[in-house]
Amino acid sequence: MLEMRIDAGAGESGRPDADAIVLAGAAVVDITPPSGLAMAGYAARTSPATGTHDPLTVRALVVGDTALVSVDVIGLHEDTCGRIRARVPLPDDHVVVTALHTHGGPRAVPGRVGGASDAGFVTRLEDACVAAIEAALANRRPARLSFGNGADPEVARNRRHDGGVTDPQLPVLRIRGEDGGWIAVVLSYACHPVVLGADNTLWTADYPGAVRTAIEAVHPGAVALFLTGCAGDAGIGDTPHGSISTVPSDFRSFANAERLGHRIGAAALAAPQAPISARVGAASAPVALDLVRPEEAELDALGAQWRADSQTAEPAWAALYESWADWADTAAREPLAPCPLRVTVFNWGGVRLVALPGEIFAATARQIRQAIDGTPVGGRSFVFCFADGVPGYIPPAEEYAFGGYEVDEAHRYYGMPGAFAQGSAERLVQTAATLAATLAGGAADIEKKA
């Protein structure tokens, strides 16, 4: 059953073009931790953070009575996102909390992604998200929206199949006050934020940080929100197993992160602009996805083998084997209960923002866009993941036959008792399509009554 509310949100002012005006506001809160906290993203990296390259932030945007929050961490627990939504003065299904998925941030998902997180930092993060939303609400002023798709910056590469599918969509939503001043620019691109590798020990937002800097330099006063698209199988030419190394390289460097970020930013800045209405709607639905345990071997034997392998492996691989052995001793022994997640769709003036949990593949984003836009590329949709919970990879059904890190291994590092069952991604597609269709019907009813 869909938990849904539809809101016209048109900012009625009596003017002939009142449906083009909406109240919108944005805010940024710094959450950069001190040095010494454990970092998340690579099992091969055992050193804590030694400093800061660029600040980590929470960025909130409120449009009408909907709020979108992006956090510069690798992921967030569903419970964390739920607590944030419960603390703000907006309907639960009108708030989306998403992670940037940088691998240069602290552990922020209790019990997942490499080990225990710092409880103090998680509390600070939650407070920062609430503060950012409240500040964005307080900053709201009459605004106009415009939308356009930028050209593919051709940064992302399929990291599972040579020449495989990626999602080239680069949607850009611009929000300006009625006075002409900038409020926010929202953009999305589907590429893993892993330019910096396991050798990096500095806090960083990775290439999305450079994208935001490029956007804000051209649009003074704007808050740039980068939404990481469905990048579960997309990187810059790296592979998951290739990241099991702490050897520095020019390819996995801050210089390359800046170069690629500016390339994406330039494509976004060149995107066309077309005004859209200020009609605002939101809908969400719970989705409980089944877990399976691919490993058939006895857990004691698996753990013993991995610990033995760690004794002879080079240090980066040894750290990985140790993390797998820890999984075999702990999370692997938990019952395989369905994982409770949710999908949310915002409709901002006919532009749909589809927020998905977990790490989603490009094919799934294209299927959703086909369902709601009638085309796998183009259209008027943002399809992004890492939203309202990041419990691991959720591959499309056709990928299970190929196995590999995302299908067979990643749930160990995530600390999940099992991997997501085949058919899970397809359930997300159907849920998103149903929500978008219902919102479109509600908007049509509103127009008939106007």
Is-contact 28 132, C-beta < 8 A?
yes
pLDDT higher for 297 or 202?
202
Choose among 130, 125, 271, 258: nearest CA to 188.
271
Q: In sequence order, which residues have a C-beta less than 8 Å from that of residue 121 and are 6 or more positions away?
A: 31, 33, 37, 106, 108
What average pLDDT does the chain have?
Answer: 92
Structure token pair of residue 113: 């992604």
Per-residue pLDDT, averaged over 343-354, amounts to 97
**Cα–Cα separations (whole angstroms), residue 113 to 103, 413, 421:** 10, 6, 20
The confidence band for 243, taking pLDDT boundaries of 50, 70 and 90, is confident
Is-contact 422 364, C-beta < 8 A?
no
**Cα–Cα separations (whole angstroms), residue 279 to 111, 172, 301:** 40, 18, 58
pLDDT higher for 14 or 234?
234
Alpha helices in 233-295 (DSSP H): 254-269
The confidence band for 7, taking pLDDT boundaries of 50, 70 and 90, is very low
Question: What's residue 13's pLDDT?
Answer: 35
CA neighbours closer than 13 Å in the CB half-sphere of residue 284: 19
Go through 357-390 and write b for each residue having 16 or more CB atoms within 10 A of its CB, e for each that does not.
bbbbbbbbbbbbbebbbeebeebbbbbbbbbbbb
pLDDT reading at 54 higher than 50: yes
Per-residue pLDDT, averaged over 402-413, amounts to 94
Per-residue pLDDT, averaged over 5-25, amounts to 58
The length of the chain is 450
Structure token pair of residue 114: 């490499």
Choose among 104, 341, 354, 365: nearest CA to 232.
365
Query: Tell me: the pLDDT tens digits for 245-298?
Result: 889 999 999 999 999 999 999 999 999 999 999 899 999 999 999 999 876 568
Question: What's residue 448's pLDDT?
Answer: 42
pLDDT reading at 4 higher than 60: no
Phi then psi dihedrals of residue 407, to 5 deg: -90, -45
Say how far apart CA 385 and CA 232 lie, in whole Å: 9
Say how far apart CA 247 and CA 252 lie, in whole Å: 10
The confidence band for 112, taking pLDDT boundaries of 50, 70 and 90, is confident
Is-contact 388 344, C-beta < 8 A?
yes
The confidence band for 450, taking pLDDT boundaries of 50, 70 and 90, is very low
> What sign has the CA pseudo-torsion 147, 152, 156, 159?
positive
The confidence band for 324, taking pLDDT boundaries of 50, 70 and 90, is very high
Domain ranges within the chain, ordered by starting residue: 3-291+336-449, 294-333
pLDDT reading at 445 higher than 60: no
pLDDT reading at 436 higher than 60: yes
Task: Express the helix, strand and coil content of the chain in percent, nearest 5 each.
Answer: 35, 25, 40
Question: What's residue 296's pLDDT?
Answer: 58
pLDDT reading at 126 higher than 70: yes
**Cα–Cα separations (whole angstroms), residue 423 to 272, 345, 364, 415:** 37, 21, 11, 21
The confidence band for 11, taking pLDDT boundaries of 50, 70 and 90, is very low
The confidence band for 2, taking pLDDT boundaries of 50, 70 and 90, is very low
pLDDT reading at 374 higher than 60: yes
- Highest average pLDDT, of 293-302, 314-323, 389-398, 434-443, comes from 389-398
Per-residue pLDDT, averaged over 100-104, amounts to 98
Alpha helices in 139-231 (DSSP H): 206-218
Q: Which helix (H) or strand (E) holds 61?
A: strand 57-63
Question: What's residue 47's pLDDT?
Answer: 93
Per-residue pLDDT, averaged over 18-37, amounts to 93
Q: Which stretch of 86-90, 130-134, 296-300 has the lowest confidence by average pLDDT?
A: 296-300
What burial class does residue 127 get, using C-beta atoms within 10 Å of its C-beta: 0-12 exposed, 13-18 middle, 19+ buried? middle
Per-residue pLDDT, averaged over 215-242, amounts to 95
